[in-house]
Structure 1
Amino acid sequence: MCFQDPRRLFGRAIQWLLCASVLINMLLLMFVMFHQPDTGLSSLTGHLPINPEQMDKRDLHAIIQEKGPKPHIMTTDEIKRLKDLKDNKEWEEVQQVPTEKPIWSYNKTAADVFRRELDDICNTKEDFIVTKENFPLGSVIQYDAERHSRLNVTDDVWERFPQSSPFAHMKHSRCSVVGNSGLLKNSNCGKEIDAADFVFRCNMAPIDGHHIAEVGSKTNLITANPTIIRDKYKNFRNQTLKENFVKDLSVYGKSYIWMTPFAYKMCTSYTFKAQHVLKEFKSDNEIIFANPVFMGNMNKYWKKHGVKAWRASTGLFLVSAALSMCEEVHLYGFWPWHLDRLGNNLTQHYYDNHPVHKAHKLPDEFQQHQKLHNEGVLHMTTNRCA
């Protein structure tokens, strides 16, 4: 028998291993090249007859909204709309807004710390509204916006207050706070909003008809601007206007109507008239008065934390209250721009396009909401609901 030199056999084996290794690496490289998800412009435009070279880097940044194996495929109209927005200052601002953390979980520790911080500023559960306990007979109310104005708590005034706050011992597991942004239009968030134990709403926003699918209908507390008594209900100068007011509030079921009689002097008479009408008609709704101490303290707190406005919005006051009264707080419709993240036009509110008060700095408030969302203190929804 003939025996080959073992060293030659070992050398050939090494050569075969090296060749096999090179072949495997080439196959792996080809696999990665042909299977890697494309997050570039071609994956977004898909089969569209458009030359990607015609779009600049800002266009590319704007349309890459979804990451992962299934990116958003833009239509021709969407791409045209984004190119039309190229010099739109508000669109540039929206593009600078970071997205929220995609996976949110409630952080009880962080939420409890934040609640204690708010409670150090104001005992919200006790002082969210005016009561006979926090404003006894003979005391003086200082208006929170019109700081030079005062009101003596006489017998007639004091009798309008509840004995104590119905929120003093409130602790709900989950609350929804509904802003009125146009982002809610066709959002399909109604069921999710109504699933909460307690629902806060703003400014007598409509919840009837097709709006139910967008924002739900459950209401435990809703705010009303006192000037609506002057502007819409003409100071109740006839019986029909009174009936209209009671009917308009009845859609909210048995709920609290939170009004601000002690912001400005003129608001006092409007609010007192509204309270009288509801009692006259034995309405299920109950008007409660915002406590100017709560309002003033919350204004100071949020100014200190970056809301550079003369006055916080109604929505921010409700969010502050909800954080004290509820374990989990979920926000809907808090979006201060007229464009969404894809450049779609939005109305001011989901039900109309009337401008908001310039005293508010809603982008500043949004930034604070988003910060709390990322910390797990509250949850905010800025997309369509499932």
Structure 2
Amino acid sequence: MMVVEFDAAKLDALLRSQAPSVNGQILVLAPDGTAIYDSEGGYAGRAYPYRPNAAGDAELPGGAFRTNELSVAGSGLSVLGVVSEAAVDRSMAGLTGMLILGTVLFAAVSIGLAAFIMRSHSKKVRRIIRSTSRIGAGDLTTRIELSGEDELQQIAQRINAMCEQLETYIDQVYTSEIRQKNAELALLQSQINPHFLYNTLESIRMKAYSLGAQDVGKMIYSLSVMFRSLVKKSTVVSVSEEIEICSMYLDLFRIRYEGRLTADIEVGEAAQNCRIVKLLVQPVVENYIVHGFRPLDADNRIAVRAKAEKRRLTIIVEDNGTGIPPERLAEIRLMLDGGAPAPDKEHRSIGLINVHERIRMNYGEAYGLTVDSEEGQGTTVRMVLPAESADDPGASVNERAER
């Protein structure tokens, strides 16, 4: 037989250090039910009379208790834990209360967070609605300023970009309409009482013929034909008609300068019936007469050539005049590219700039004038237009309106 002695106080201290908040009784029982250890000391060394039943319940003095017995393998000993149902109920009630409180707090935080997000989105949506209402009323300067990087911010950015594009487009259309109205007004003003001018020129022509001034009569006839063509209401003419106006204009100066001016005009067959806006070539020819012609020299020459290839009409006006100084040529090219303001009426290049702007207004940015010149050698003006005939379904809007 082996006898083992132990210090119950040390065992009690060990148990309490491991589970200091235990609200019950712990016993170590021998196989015969004797309590070797009792955390409360009441049954130490005696048989414990309240062994649990199969359900783990036991009736002890003072009410119902719940027990839990664990066997220590190989020793015959068992550890019995006893706790009153009232303590269990109190513990469960506290746990239930904590769970309910945690659930309520979690629900409150979730609802508050959801309400904050919805409120923030609602403010953004209302701001977008107010801004779009102002845009719908015509205020395209409205911009939507939103913080964050969500979908509503992206929508606001798209609306802002759309307003900027609309402003640019409307400004372009408005400017184009103003220029068109100014051109129409100038055309109307030029048509004031034209028949008086025709009749007067015809009387002067007949008087010149009666006096034997044949050259003067021819000049007056050319001038009269030119004016009749210029004041026609039609704003779109064929290339042949436009070149004829230039030919009449050059005839006036050929007669005036008595052989000191040579004009070569060449119009390709494909280009003859192409339709263009009136008075695109004549101002270029006039620009040479006014600024490039050398009245003291006998070898003045100007050539006008028109050809149509691959749905593009090219008209070239080339002369051997005084040319353009390099710095002045650079200014003209800058104005043609839109990098400088248009010249005033006193400017010597207003004819070229006017023609260039009219081409772009009627046909688009892909068309216009280019100028090459060398001082003392001459100038070449190249005009590129769409090759559109009267029967072409792709003709411009102005051309179809004329037909």
TM above 0.5: no
Which has more radius of gyration? Answer: 2
- TM-score w.r.t. the length of structure 1 is 0.24
| Higher normalized strand content (fraction of residues) | 2
Q: Which has the higher contact order (CA 8 A, sep 6+)?
A: 1
- TM-score w.r.t. the length of structure 2 is 0.23
